[in-house]
Each structure stands twice: as C-alpha cells, then as structure tokens.
C-alpha cells in the first residue's frame, strides 16, 4: 500500500497518492503544527505544500516500517519518510517519522489518521 503511494507521488500523481486516504470526513492529518480534517483538506494541504506552481517536488520513499494490528479492523503503521532528489544532487532533502491508523473495509485498507513530523532536514539513513 505505502509503496504504491510513494510510486504515485514520484510520478507526480497527487490523486493516486491520496487514494490510500479514507474518503471520510472523519479523516485526520496532524502535521506542521495543525490538524486537518477530511480528504479534500488533506489534498489542499499537499497541493499548497508540494505541488505549488514552480516548486520542486522531491521523490518520496518510506523506511523502517512497522505494522501492528489494533483489533480485527484497524492497524497502526509506524515508519520514516524521506524526500530525496533522484538526480543524486542531494541524497535526502527532508525526512521525518509518521504514524498511521489504518482501517479495513470491503477488503481494502485505508488511512483514517496520519501524524507526520519532520525531523528538520536531512535523514539519518
């Protein structure tokens, strides 16, 4: 699921990246000092932050993934995200940790809560 999400990001496909987020008004995203509710608002945040006209959007990868069941319909995913320039100019341009609460419905997992925190710059590998 997360690898497909990163592939969509790297292809410049914001809607594909957001496919893993629940289309639910109860969806929450915590990051950058704010709480955002609903998929449309999460999309707007990503558009303004990473898809702004003229901005350089670095590639995305996930590392150190841990997934733990929280009952039969929910799971917790912990990991690290890294933004990097695929041309090798700078290995890691931004990174941080995330926790996701996932819910399964009709055989499909989706993100119902995302808490992402930047560690302020270059990654630790």
CATH number for position 9: 3.10.450.50
Residues 6+ apart with CB under 8 A from 7: 16
- What's the pLDDT tens digit per position in 39-86? 999 999 999 888 877 667 789 999 999 999 999 999 999 999 999 887
Q: Is residue 81 assigned to a domain?
A: yes
Domain of 103 in residue numbering reads as 2-118
Q: pTM for this structure?
A: 0.87
Q: Is residue 106 assigned to a domain?
A: yes
Q: Is residue 44 assigned to a domain?
A: yes
Q: How many domains does the chain have?
A: 1
Q: Is residue 123 assigned to a domain?
A: no
CA-to-CA distance for 115 and 125, rounded, in angstroms?
21
Q: Is residue 124 assigned to a domain?
A: no
Is the separation of the CB atoms in 104 and 29 below 8 Å? no
């Amino acid at each position: 699921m997360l690898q497909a999400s990163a592939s969509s990001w790297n292809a410049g496909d914001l809607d594909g990246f957001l496919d893993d987020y629940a289309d639910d008004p109860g969806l929450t995203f915590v990051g950058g000092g704010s709480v955002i509710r609903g998929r449309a608002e999460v999309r707007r945040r990503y558009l303004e932050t990473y898809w702004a006209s003229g901005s350089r959007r670095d590639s995305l990868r996930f590392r150190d993934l841990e997934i733990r069941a929280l009952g039969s319909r929910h799971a917790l995913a912990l990991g690290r995200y890294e933004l990097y320039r695929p041309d090798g100019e700078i290995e890691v341009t931004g990174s941080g940790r995330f926790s996701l609460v996932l819910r399964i419905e009709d055989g499909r997992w989706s993100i119902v809560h995302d808490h992402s925190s930047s560690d302020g710059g270059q990654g630790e590998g």
